[in-house]
Amino acid sequence: MTSRTQGELSNEYEFQTMSIAALRKSLAAGETTPARVLEDLAAKIPETDAHIGAYLSHDLEAALAEAAAADLSLPLGGIPIGLKDNINVLGQPCTCGSKFLAENYKSPYDATVVRKLRAAGAIPFGRLNQDEFAMGSSTENSALQVTRNPHDPERIPGGSSGGSAASVASGTAIATLGSDTGGSIRQPASHCGVVGLKPSYGRVSRYGLVAFASSLDQIGPLTTTVEDAALVLQAIAGHDPNDTTSLDVPVPDYLAGLHDGVAGLKLGVPSEYFGDGIDPGVRSLVETAIQKLAAQGAEIVPISLPHTQYAVAAYYVIAPAEASSNLSRFDGIRYGHRTSNPSDILDLYRKSREEGFGSEVKRRIILGTYVLSSGYYEAYYGHAQKVRTLIRKDFETAFQNVDAIVSPVAPTPARKIGACEGDPLLDYLSDIFTISANLAGIPGISVPCGTCDFDGGSKLPVGIQILGPHFGEAKLLQVAKAAE
């Protein structure tokens, strides 16, 4: 879907196809109301999402109650924002795509990003599908339903924020929030042809995000335009005392330099991101996008990130280790699924987790517990943390010489549903270009750069990834706008 300008609106006022920026103008001009926008979205979801499966639930009544009091003078006044189903909203489900929480769990509080969205005038609307507990790159690992790519329903939307990306791409959401632990915003954004931004670690509060890997997770927006991503980031960024990993640093005006262009900027192109395994169509589109940035005055600088080859291995030690710790809270006692008629307390723990967790979650818990166990901790987890430091230093060295780094988001466009069944390693490798940013804590964004024929003739979207130094979102968005 492409965003439409105010003058291109049809008589049906299909506001779900508009950008936030255009919709704000229409609301301010009195052409519509927040309630009308919500009703328009809610009417389209049963028709369009029946073929996509992005939504797990939506509460129109609660959203309309907020719309009645919407302050249109605020930056996101009256704008509905969809939420990945691992972000807590008071009184709403938060299933994390898992049977463990799908039965009866309702959130007792609002995540900080939800409070910030409301403070900016936005209206939380819709719970969006994901890989279970954000563990996956396809949204096939959801225990509740499979989400499909709006460009080809036989293909994945990417993951784990597949519902967040697919809803924006299909026009059933204006903008959404997702979470990114190893590429889970950027990769589905690339596969669905939308914009997806992972902020720097510590830029956006994680309070109220159900944790997968606490040193890697970050919440960010998925939108139709770079400007919309800047608007949403402006609303959710900032220090939060409820999150000890949230850093107290100034939040710049992300819109101020958005149109400054790339003339005079140095953009690094890492050789490690253009090696074997990249689909020729992806390579061609990304290289063309880089050439267009050069034509706008950017200097293209070849660089090396030599420890990239170890990123996937390090990530799949660190992330499962943290997951095994974080998911220990799901024990059948405090909330979520509880097995019936256990013989004793240990049987209650064992059966509740056996029945409640899916196979990918179990796989990562087992792996994480193993690498943290006595006798193996230093050999695996300790070693992976050292590799992580080397990867971070690679980026620090690169950013001494370049303003941003450009690369593919994923080595291929969206694959067919079921293509990796029985071979999870193939799915893990699809994040090879995104994982390093999470290990280093730096920001990254995916911006659509065209479509290519792939695997049977489908026209599939491809994104260019732009990476910046820690807390360098303003410059990152500036480059992204030029790429757009």
C-alpha to C-alpha distance for 212 and 134, rounded to whole angstroms: 7
Please give the positions annotated as active site: 84, 160, 184
The domain tally of the chain equals: 1
* Below-50 pLDDT ranges, the chain: 1-13
**Structural domain for 388, as ranges:** 1-484
The helix/strand/coil state of 395 is: helix
Q: For the domain that residue 259 is a member of, what is the CATH number?
A: 3.90.1300.10
Residue in this structure with the two tokens 């965003």, named with its chain if needed: 3
How is residue 443 written in tokens?
């920001």
The helix/strand/coil state of 189 is: helix
If DSSP states are collapsed to H, E and C, what string results for the chain?
Answer: CCCCCHHHCCCCCCHHHCCHHHHHHHHHCCCCCHHHHHHHHHHHHHHHHCCCCCEEECCHHHHHHHHCCCCCCCCCCCCEEEEECCECCCCCECCCCCHHHHCCCECCCCCHHHHHHHHCCCEEEEEECCCHHHCCCCCCCCCCCCCCECCECCECCCCCCHHHHHHHHHCCCCCEEEECCCCCCHHHHHHHCCEEEECCCCCECCCCECCCCCCCCCEEEEECCHHHHHHHHHHHECCCCCCCCCCCCCCCCCCCCCCCCCCCCEEEEEHHHHCCCCCHHHHHHHHHHHHHHHHCCCEEEEECCHHHHHHHHHHHHHHHHHHHHHHHHCCCCCCCCCCCCCCCHHHHHHHHHHHHCCHHHHHHHHHHHHHCCCCCHHHHHHHHHHHHHHHHHHHHHHCCCCCEEEEECCCCCCCECCCCCCCHHHHHHCCCCCHHHHHHCCCEEEEEEEEEEECCCEEEEEEEEEECCCCCHHHHHHHHHHHC
CB of 117 closer than 8 Å to CB of 235: yes
The helix/strand/coil state of 179 is: strand
